[in-house]
Amino acid sequence: MSADDVRAIERRTIAKVSWRLLPLIAVLYCVAYIDRTNVAFAALTMNKDLGLSSYIFGWGAGIFFFGYFLFEIPSNLILERTGARIWIARIMITWGIVSGLMAFTTGPTSFLVLRFLLGAAEAGFFPGMILYFTYWYPSVYRGRVISTLFIAQPVANAVAAIASGAILGMDGFLTLKGWQWVFILEALPAVLLAFVVLGVMTDRPAVATWLAPAERQWLDSRLNEERRDIENAGRLSLWQALCDRRVFVLSMIYFMAVTANYGTVFFMPQIVKGMDLSNLMTGFVSAIPYVIGTLGLIAWGYSSDRFHERRWHLIAASTVAAAGLVCAGVFGSSYWALMGMSFATIGIYGSRAAFWPMPSMFLTGTAAAGAIALINATGNLGGYVGPFVVGWIKDSTNSFESGLYFLAACAFAGGVITFFATRAAGAPEPVQSTAARQAAE
Protein backbone atom coordinates (compact mmCIF):
# COMPACT_ATOMS: atom_id res chain seq x y z
CA MET A 1 0.00 0.00 0.00
CA SER A 2 1.41 3.39 -1.01
CA ALA A 3 1.94 6.30 1.36
CA ASP A 4 -0.90 8.18 -0.36
CA ASP A 5 -3.25 5.26 0.28
CA VAL A 6 -2.26 5.18 3.97
CA ARG A 7 -2.85 8.92 4.32
CA ALA A 8 -6.24 8.58 2.64
CA ILE A 9 -7.25 5.79 5.06
CA GLU A 10 -6.01 7.89 8.00
CA ARG A 11 -8.03 10.93 6.97
CA ARG A 12 -11.13 8.84 6.37
CA THR A 13 -10.80 6.94 9.66
CA ILE A 14 -10.21 9.99 11.85
CA ALA A 15 -13.12 11.77 10.18
CA LYS A 16 -15.47 8.83 10.84
CA VAL A 17 -14.34 8.48 14.45
CA SER A 18 -14.71 12.21 15.05
CA TRP A 19 -18.20 12.48 13.57
CA ARG A 20 -19.33 9.42 15.50
CA LEU A 21 -17.91 10.24 18.94
CA LEU A 22 -17.00 13.91 19.37
CA PRO A 23 -20.46 15.54 19.09
CA LEU A 24 -21.91 13.09 21.63
CA ILE A 25 -19.00 13.44 24.06
CA ALA A 26 -19.05 17.24 23.81
CA VAL A 27 -22.78 17.30 24.58
CA LEU A 28 -22.30 14.94 27.54
CA TYR A 29 -19.56 17.10 29.04
CA CYS A 30 -21.64 20.22 28.43
CA VAL A 31 -24.50 18.70 30.43
CA ALA A 32 -22.11 17.54 33.17
CA TYR A 33 -20.58 20.98 33.47
CA ILE A 34 -23.98 22.68 33.62
CA ASP A 35 -25.09 20.38 36.44
CA ARG A 36 -21.97 21.03 38.50
CA THR A 37 -21.96 24.84 38.03
CA ASN A 38 -25.62 25.85 37.75
CA VAL A 39 -25.54 26.42 41.50
CA ALA A 40 -23.74 29.68 40.65
CA PHE A 41 -26.89 31.02 39.01
CA ALA A 42 -29.30 29.45 41.48
CA ALA A 43 -27.36 31.34 44.16
CA LEU A 44 -28.70 34.67 42.87
CA THR A 45 -31.96 33.92 44.73
CA MET A 46 -31.26 30.64 46.58
CA ASN A 47 -28.71 32.10 48.98
CA LYS A 48 -31.22 34.59 50.35
CA ASP A 49 -34.04 32.03 50.55
CA LEU A 50 -31.88 29.53 52.45
CA GLY A 51 -29.82 32.04 54.44
CA LEU A 52 -26.48 31.03 52.87
CA SER A 53 -23.58 33.44 53.32
CA SER A 54 -20.88 33.81 50.62
CA TYR A 55 -18.63 31.74 52.90
CA ILE A 56 -21.12 28.84 53.17
CA PHE A 57 -21.96 29.05 49.48
CA GLY A 58 -18.26 28.93 48.53
CA TRP A 59 -17.79 25.95 50.84
CA GLY A 60 -20.76 24.13 49.33
CA ALA A 61 -19.80 24.97 45.74
CA GLY A 62 -16.35 23.52 46.37
CA ILE A 63 -17.23 20.47 48.49
CA PHE A 64 -18.43 18.87 45.25
CA PHE A 65 -14.77 18.26 44.48
CA PHE A 66 -14.11 16.32 47.69
CA GLY A 67 -16.66 13.73 46.58
CA TYR A 68 -15.06 13.84 43.15
CA PHE A 69 -11.58 13.35 44.64
CA LEU A 70 -12.48 10.34 46.79
CA PHE A 71 -14.16 8.33 44.03
CA GLU A 72 -12.19 9.45 40.96
CA ILE A 73 -9.49 6.75 40.78
CA PRO A 74 -11.79 3.79 41.56
CA SER A 75 -14.27 5.01 38.96
CA ASN A 76 -11.65 5.31 36.23
CA LEU A 77 -10.20 1.88 36.99
CA ILE A 78 -13.69 0.39 36.73
CA LEU A 79 -14.16 2.13 33.38
CA GLU A 80 -10.89 0.62 32.13
CA ARG A 81 -12.19 -2.86 33.04
CA THR A 82 -15.89 -2.62 32.10
CA GLY A 83 -15.68 -0.26 29.12
CA ALA A 84 -16.75 3.34 28.72
CA ARG A 85 -20.22 2.68 27.31
CA ILE A 86 -21.82 1.07 30.37
CA TRP A 87 -19.86 2.98 33.01
CA ILE A 88 -20.43 6.45 31.51
CA ALA A 89 -24.17 5.73 31.24
CA ARG A 90 -24.20 4.73 34.93
CA ILE A 91 -22.39 7.91 35.92
CA MET A 92 -24.85 10.08 34.00
CA ILE A 93 -27.97 8.52 35.50
CA THR A 94 -26.57 8.87 39.02
CA TRP A 95 -25.45 12.47 38.68
CA GLY A 96 -28.72 13.45 36.97
CA ILE A 97 -30.75 12.14 39.90
CA VAL A 98 -28.59 13.84 42.54
CA SER A 99 -28.55 17.11 40.58
CA GLY A 100 -32.34 17.10 40.48
CA LEU A 101 -32.49 16.49 44.22
CA MET A 102 -30.62 19.80 44.71
CA ALA A 103 -34.01 21.44 44.17
CA PHE A 104 -35.09 20.16 47.59
CA THR A 105 -32.24 21.75 49.52
CA THR A 106 -33.60 23.24 52.76
CA GLY A 107 -30.53 24.79 54.38
CA PRO A 108 -26.75 24.68 54.78
CA THR A 109 -26.58 21.01 55.85
CA SER A 110 -28.60 19.55 52.99
CA PHE A 111 -26.84 21.91 50.57
CA LEU A 112 -23.41 20.63 51.63
CA VAL A 113 -24.46 16.96 51.64
CA LEU A 114 -26.05 17.05 48.19
CA ARG A 115 -23.11 18.92 46.65
CA PHE A 116 -20.75 16.28 48.06
CA LEU A 117 -22.93 13.46 46.68
CA LEU A 118 -23.08 15.16 43.28
CA GLY A 119 -19.28 15.10 43.13
CA ALA A 120 -19.21 11.43 44.10
CA ALA A 121 -21.81 10.63 41.44
CA GLU A 122 -19.95 12.43 38.64
CA ALA A 123 -16.49 11.13 39.65
CA GLY A 124 -14.69 9.47 36.78
CA PHE A 125 -16.58 11.12 33.93
CA PHE A 126 -13.95 13.60 32.76
CA PRO A 127 -10.81 11.45 33.24
CA GLY A 128 -12.78 8.62 31.67
CA MET A 129 -13.23 10.74 28.56
CA ILE A 130 -9.53 11.65 28.46
CA LEU A 131 -8.67 7.94 28.75
CA TYR A 132 -11.30 7.08 26.12
CA PHE A 133 -9.62 9.42 23.62
CA THR A 134 -6.38 7.45 23.96
CA TYR A 135 -8.30 4.39 22.70
CA TRP A 136 -9.38 6.16 19.53
CA TYR A 137 -6.90 8.92 18.58
CA PRO A 138 -3.16 8.83 17.83
CA SER A 139 -1.16 11.35 19.86
CA VAL A 140 -0.81 13.85 17.02
CA TYR A 141 -4.58 14.50 17.14
CA ARG A 142 -5.15 14.71 20.88
CA GLY A 143 -4.63 18.43 21.42
CA ARG A 144 -7.38 19.27 18.93
CA VAL A 145 -9.63 16.50 20.20
CA ILE A 146 -9.28 17.59 23.81
CA SER A 147 -9.97 21.16 22.68
CA THR A 148 -13.24 19.89 21.23
CA LEU A 149 -14.10 18.31 24.57
CA PHE A 150 -13.25 21.48 26.45
CA ILE A 151 -15.34 23.60 24.11
CA ALA A 152 -18.16 22.13 26.16
CA GLN A 153 -16.98 24.14 29.20
CA PRO A 154 -17.41 27.67 27.85
CA VAL A 155 -20.46 26.57 25.86
CA ALA A 156 -21.97 25.06 29.02
CA ASN A 157 -21.24 28.21 30.99
CA ALA A 158 -22.80 30.36 28.28
CA VAL A 159 -25.87 28.11 27.92
CA ALA A 160 -26.27 27.82 31.69
CA ALA A 161 -25.97 31.57 32.08
CA ILE A 162 -28.71 32.30 29.56
CA ALA A 163 -30.99 29.36 30.42
CA SER A 164 -30.66 29.71 34.19
CA GLY A 165 -31.32 33.44 34.04
CA ALA A 166 -34.55 32.72 32.16
CA ILE A 167 -35.58 29.77 34.38
CA LEU A 168 -35.22 31.91 37.49
CA GLY A 169 -38.18 33.83 36.07
CA MET A 170 -40.35 30.75 36.70
CA ASP A 171 -40.43 31.65 40.40
CA GLY A 172 -43.77 30.57 41.89
CA PHE A 173 -44.72 28.18 39.08
CA LEU A 174 -46.34 25.09 40.68
CA THR A 175 -45.40 26.63 44.05
CA LEU A 176 -41.66 26.09 43.41
CA LYS A 177 -38.95 28.74 43.53
CA GLY A 178 -37.12 29.75 40.38
CA TRP A 179 -33.84 28.30 41.66
CA GLN A 180 -35.58 24.95 42.27
CA TRP A 181 -36.66 24.86 38.63
CA VAL A 182 -33.05 25.51 37.61
CA PHE A 183 -31.95 22.26 39.26
CA ILE A 184 -34.93 20.18 38.09
CA LEU A 185 -34.96 21.19 34.42
CA GLU A 186 -31.20 21.13 33.98
CA ALA A 187 -30.89 17.65 35.52
CA LEU A 188 -33.20 15.93 33.01
CA PRO A 189 -30.78 15.86 30.00
CA ALA A 190 -28.21 13.80 31.94
CA VAL A 191 -30.65 10.95 32.59
CA LEU A 192 -32.05 10.98 29.06
CA LEU A 193 -28.64 11.08 27.36
CA ALA A 194 -27.48 8.03 29.31
CA PHE A 195 -29.66 5.91 27.02
CA VAL A 196 -28.12 7.58 23.95
CA VAL A 197 -24.70 6.57 25.29
CA LEU A 198 -25.79 2.95 25.54
CA GLY A 199 -26.93 3.01 21.92
CA VAL A 200 -24.13 5.01 20.27
CA MET A 201 -20.86 4.78 22.21
CA THR A 202 -18.37 2.04 21.20
CA ASP A 203 -15.74 0.83 23.66
CA ARG A 204 -12.78 0.10 21.34
CA PRO A 205 -11.89 0.34 17.62
CA ALA A 206 -11.71 -3.47 17.36
CA VAL A 207 -15.50 -3.71 17.84
CA ALA A 208 -16.42 -0.65 15.75
CA THR A 209 -18.57 -2.22 13.02
CA TRP A 210 -19.14 1.27 11.60
CA LEU A 211 -15.46 1.37 10.50
CA ALA A 212 -14.35 -0.50 7.38
CA PRO A 213 -11.91 -3.40 8.00
CA ALA A 214 -9.00 -1.42 6.50
CA GLU A 215 -9.84 1.53 8.75
CA ARG A 216 -10.01 -0.62 11.89
CA GLN A 217 -6.71 -2.25 10.98
CA TRP A 218 -4.97 1.08 10.38
CA LEU A 219 -6.25 2.58 13.65
CA ASP A 220 -5.39 -0.47 15.76
CA SER A 221 -1.92 -0.69 14.22
CA ARG A 222 -1.18 2.99 14.73
CA LEU A 223 -2.33 3.03 18.34
CA ASN A 224 -0.54 -0.22 19.18
CA GLU A 225 2.66 1.13 17.68
CA GLU A 226 2.44 4.26 19.83
CA ARG A 227 1.81 2.18 22.95
CA ARG A 228 4.86 0.04 22.18
CA ASP A 229 7.00 3.15 21.69
CA ILE A 230 5.91 4.48 25.08
CA GLU A 231 6.29 1.14 26.88
CA ASN A 232 9.71 0.52 25.32
CA ALA A 233 10.85 3.74 26.99
CA GLY A 234 9.74 2.25 30.33
CA ARG A 235 6.36 0.75 31.11
CA LEU A 236 4.93 1.79 34.47
CA SER A 237 2.70 -0.24 36.75
CA LEU A 238 -0.34 1.39 38.32
CA TRP A 239 1.49 1.96 41.61
CA GLN A 240 4.61 3.30 39.86
CA ALA A 241 2.46 5.71 37.87
CA LEU A 242 0.65 6.98 40.96
CA CYS A 243 4.02 7.62 42.66
CA ASP A 244 5.76 9.05 39.57
CA ARG A 245 7.15 12.56 40.04
CA ARG A 246 5.81 13.65 36.66
CA VAL A 247 2.30 12.75 37.77
CA PHE A 248 2.77 14.79 40.95
CA VAL A 249 3.98 17.81 38.97
CA LEU A 250 1.07 17.60 36.54
CA SER A 251 -1.32 17.34 39.49
CA MET A 252 0.07 20.54 41.01
CA ILE A 253 -0.14 22.41 37.71
CA TYR A 254 -3.73 21.32 37.24
CA PHE A 255 -4.60 22.19 40.84
CA MET A 256 -3.56 25.80 40.22
CA ALA A 257 -5.45 25.99 36.93
CA VAL A 258 -8.64 24.54 38.39
CA THR A 259 -8.51 26.86 41.42
CA ALA A 260 -8.45 29.86 39.06
CA ASN A 261 -11.16 28.36 36.88
CA TYR A 262 -13.80 27.51 39.48
CA GLY A 263 -13.09 30.54 41.64
CA THR A 264 -14.10 32.49 38.55
CA VAL A 265 -17.03 30.32 37.42
CA PHE A 266 -18.89 30.09 40.72
CA PHE A 267 -18.76 33.84 41.40
CA MET A 268 -19.00 35.24 37.86
CA PRO A 269 -22.80 35.79 38.07
CA GLN A 270 -22.50 37.61 41.40
CA ILE A 271 -19.66 39.79 40.06
CA VAL A 272 -21.68 40.66 36.95
CA LYS A 273 -24.79 41.24 39.07
CA GLY A 274 -22.80 44.04 40.70
CA MET A 275 -23.35 46.05 37.49
CA ASP A 276 -27.00 46.48 38.59
CA LEU A 277 -28.39 44.12 35.93
CA SER A 278 -31.54 42.01 36.07
CA ASN A 279 -31.22 38.25 36.53
CA LEU A 280 -31.95 37.70 32.83
CA MET A 281 -29.37 40.28 31.69
CA THR A 282 -26.87 38.91 34.22
CA GLY A 283 -27.21 35.57 32.46
CA PHE A 284 -26.60 37.04 29.01
CA VAL A 285 -23.66 39.21 30.08
CA SER A 286 -22.07 36.37 32.08
CA ALA A 287 -22.05 34.30 28.88
CA ILE A 288 -19.76 36.75 27.04
CA PRO A 289 -16.40 35.70 28.59
CA TYR A 290 -17.15 32.03 27.96
CA VAL A 291 -17.97 32.61 24.30
CA ILE A 292 -14.70 34.51 23.88
CA GLY A 293 -12.83 31.84 25.85
CA THR A 294 -13.88 29.28 23.24
CA LEU A 295 -11.73 31.08 20.67
CA GLY A 296 -8.65 30.70 22.86
CA LEU A 297 -9.39 27.04 23.40
CA ILE A 298 -9.60 26.31 19.68
CA ALA A 299 -6.51 28.38 18.84
CA TRP A 300 -4.35 26.79 21.57
CA GLY A 301 -5.41 23.27 20.65
CA TYR A 302 -4.66 23.77 16.95
CA SER A 303 -1.32 25.47 17.60
CA SER A 304 -0.21 22.91 20.19
CA ASP A 305 -0.84 20.03 17.77
CA ARG A 306 0.57 21.93 14.80
CA PHE A 307 3.93 22.48 16.49
CA HIS A 308 3.87 19.24 18.55
CA GLU A 309 4.60 21.36 21.64
CA ARG A 310 2.79 21.50 24.98
CA ARG A 311 5.02 23.14 27.59
CA TRP A 312 5.32 26.68 26.23
CA HIS A 313 1.70 26.72 25.13
CA LEU A 314 0.70 25.91 28.71
CA ILE A 315 2.98 28.62 30.14
CA ALA A 316 1.59 31.23 27.73
CA ALA A 317 -2.03 30.32 28.48
CA SER A 318 -1.44 30.49 32.25
CA THR A 319 0.11 33.96 31.90
CA VAL A 320 -2.81 35.25 29.82
CA ALA A 321 -5.27 33.93 32.43
CA ALA A 322 -3.40 35.64 35.27
CA ALA A 323 -3.24 38.97 33.42
CA GLY A 324 -6.97 38.88 32.69
CA LEU A 325 -7.88 38.18 36.32
CA VAL A 326 -5.66 41.04 37.53
CA CYS A 327 -7.45 43.41 35.12
CA ALA A 328 -10.83 42.18 36.40
CA GLY A 329 -9.73 42.90 39.97
CA VAL A 330 -8.47 46.39 39.11
CA PHE A 331 -11.65 47.51 37.36
CA GLY A 332 -14.23 45.98 39.73
CA SER A 333 -17.84 45.45 38.60
CA SER A 334 -17.59 47.19 35.22
CA TYR A 335 -17.47 46.38 31.55
CA TRP A 336 -13.68 46.81 31.64
CA ALA A 337 -13.61 44.05 34.24
CA LEU A 338 -15.76 41.95 31.91
CA MET A 339 -13.09 42.39 29.25
CA GLY A 340 -10.48 41.24 31.76
CA MET A 341 -12.57 38.17 32.58
CA SER A 342 -12.82 37.42 28.87
CA PHE A 343 -9.03 37.41 28.53
CA ALA A 344 -8.83 35.24 31.64
CA THR A 345 -11.15 32.63 30.12
CA ILE A 346 -9.06 32.58 26.92
CA GLY A 347 -6.04 31.58 29.02
CA ILE A 348 -7.90 29.26 31.38
CA TYR A 349 -9.49 27.23 28.60
CA GLY A 350 -6.48 27.45 26.29
CA SER A 351 -4.30 25.85 28.97
CA ARG A 352 -6.44 22.68 28.90
CA ALA A 353 -5.63 21.93 25.28
CA ALA A 354 -1.89 21.99 26.01
CA PHE A 355 -2.09 20.26 29.38
CA TRP A 356 -4.19 17.12 28.89
CA PRO A 357 -2.15 15.49 26.09
CA MET A 358 0.83 15.43 28.50
CA PRO A 359 -0.06 12.35 30.62
CA SER A 360 -0.40 10.09 27.56
CA MET A 361 3.17 11.00 26.56
CA PHE A 362 4.49 8.51 29.12
CA LEU A 363 1.49 6.46 30.33
CA THR A 364 -0.56 3.63 28.85
CA GLY A 365 -3.23 1.12 29.94
CA THR A 366 -4.16 0.80 33.60
CA ALA A 367 -1.30 3.11 34.61
CA ALA A 368 -2.81 5.82 32.39
CA ALA A 369 -6.31 5.21 33.80
CA GLY A 370 -5.12 5.57 37.42
CA ALA A 371 -2.70 8.45 36.87
CA ILE A 372 -5.09 10.52 34.75
CA ALA A 373 -7.73 10.05 37.45
CA LEU A 374 -5.23 11.06 40.15
CA ILE A 375 -4.17 14.18 38.24
CA ASN A 376 -7.78 15.20 37.66
CA ALA A 377 -8.85 14.36 41.23
CA THR A 378 -5.97 16.26 42.85
CA GLY A 379 -6.35 19.17 40.46
CA ASN A 380 -10.07 19.37 41.06
CA LEU A 381 -9.50 19.96 44.76
CA GLY A 382 -8.77 23.43 43.44
CA GLY A 383 -12.47 23.52 42.66
CA TYR A 384 -12.96 23.58 46.42
CA VAL A 385 -10.14 25.99 47.23
CA GLY A 386 -11.06 28.61 44.63
CA PRO A 387 -14.72 29.18 45.59
CA PHE A 388 -13.96 28.77 49.32
CA VAL A 389 -11.21 31.40 49.38
CA VAL A 390 -13.06 33.84 47.13
CA GLY A 391 -16.20 33.49 49.27
CA TRP A 392 -14.22 34.01 52.48
CA ILE A 393 -12.47 37.09 51.04
CA LYS A 394 -15.80 38.50 49.81
CA ASP A 395 -17.37 38.17 53.26
CA SER A 396 -14.27 39.68 54.91
CA THR A 397 -13.77 42.64 52.55
CA ASN A 398 -17.23 43.05 50.99
CA SER A 399 -15.45 43.01 47.61
CA PHE A 400 -14.33 40.49 44.99
CA GLU A 401 -11.14 42.43 44.17
CA SER A 402 -8.68 40.60 46.45
CA GLY A 403 -10.30 37.29 45.55
CA LEU A 404 -9.59 37.91 41.87
CA TYR A 405 -5.96 38.72 42.68
CA PHE A 406 -5.73 35.41 44.52
CA LEU A 407 -7.08 33.56 41.47
CA ALA A 408 -4.61 35.43 39.24
CA ALA A 409 -1.76 34.32 41.49
CA CYS A 410 -2.92 30.70 41.18
CA ALA A 411 -3.06 30.87 37.39
CA PHE A 412 0.40 32.44 37.23
CA ALA A 413 1.76 29.84 39.67
CA GLY A 414 0.62 27.12 37.27
CA GLY A 415 2.77 28.69 34.56
CA VAL A 416 5.75 29.03 36.92
CA ILE A 417 5.54 25.37 37.97
CA THR A 418 5.34 24.38 34.32
CA PHE A 419 8.45 26.43 33.50
CA PHE A 420 10.61 25.11 36.32
CA ALA A 421 9.27 21.61 36.99
CA THR A 422 8.12 19.96 33.77
CA ARG A 423 11.65 19.67 32.41
CA ALA A 424 12.99 18.45 35.75
CA ALA A 425 10.10 16.01 36.05
CA GLY A 426 11.10 14.50 32.75
CA ALA A 427 7.78 14.78 30.92
CA PRO A 428 8.81 13.73 27.44
CA GLU A 429 7.93 15.29 24.13
CA PRO A 430 4.91 13.74 22.39
CA VAL A 431 5.69 10.26 21.16
CA GLN A 432 5.53 10.17 17.37
CA SER A 433 5.39 6.70 15.87
CA THR A 434 7.09 5.66 12.65
CA ALA A 435 3.78 5.86 10.82
CA ALA A 436 3.12 9.32 12.18
CA ARG A 437 6.54 10.56 11.14
CA GLN A 438 6.05 9.16 7.65
CA ALA A 439 2.64 10.80 7.41
CA ALA A 440 4.11 14.14 8.54
CA GLU A 441 6.75 13.89 5.83
pLDDT at residue 423 in the model: 65
Predicted confidence band at 192 (pLDDT cuts at 50, 70, 90)? very high
The fraction of the chain above a pLDDT of 90, given in percent, is 30
Q: What is the pLDDT of residues 281-338, one digit of tens each?
A: 877 787 788 888 888 788 887 888 888 888 899 999 999 999 999 998 888 777 888 8
Print the SS3 string covering the chain: CCHHHHHHHHHHHHHHHHHHHHHHHHHHHHHHHHHHHCHHHHHHHHHHHHCCCHHHHHHHHHHHHHHHHHHHHHHHHHHHHHCHHHHHHHHHHHHHHHHHHHHHCCCHHHHHHHHHHHHHHHCCHHHHHHHHHHHHCCHHHHHHHHHHHHHHHHHHHHHHHHHHHHHHHHCCHHHCCHHHHHHHHHHHHHHHHHHHHHHHCCCCHHHCCCCCHHHHHHHHHHHHHHHHHHHHCCCCCHHHHHHCHHHHHHHHHHHHHHHHHHHHHCCHHHHHHCCCCCHHHHHHHHHHHHHHHHHHHHHHHHHHHHCCCCHHHHHHHHHHHHHHHHHHHHHCCCHHHHHHHHHHHHHHHHHHHHHCCCHHHCCCHHHHHHHHHHHHHHHHCHHHHHHHHHHHHHHHHCCCHHHHHHHHHHHHHHHHHHHHHHHHHCCCCCCCCHHHHHHHC
Q: Is the pLDDT of residue 139 over 90?
A: no
pLDDT at residue 1 in the model: 66
Q: What is the pLDDT of residues 209-233, one digit of tens each?
A: 999 999 999 999 998 888 887 777 6
Least confident of 131-140, 186-195, 225-234, 369-378: 225-234
Average pLDDT over residues 52-80: 84
pLDDT at residue 425 in the model: 41
The fraction of the chain above a pLDDT of 70, given in percent, is 95
pLDDT at residue 440 in the model: 39
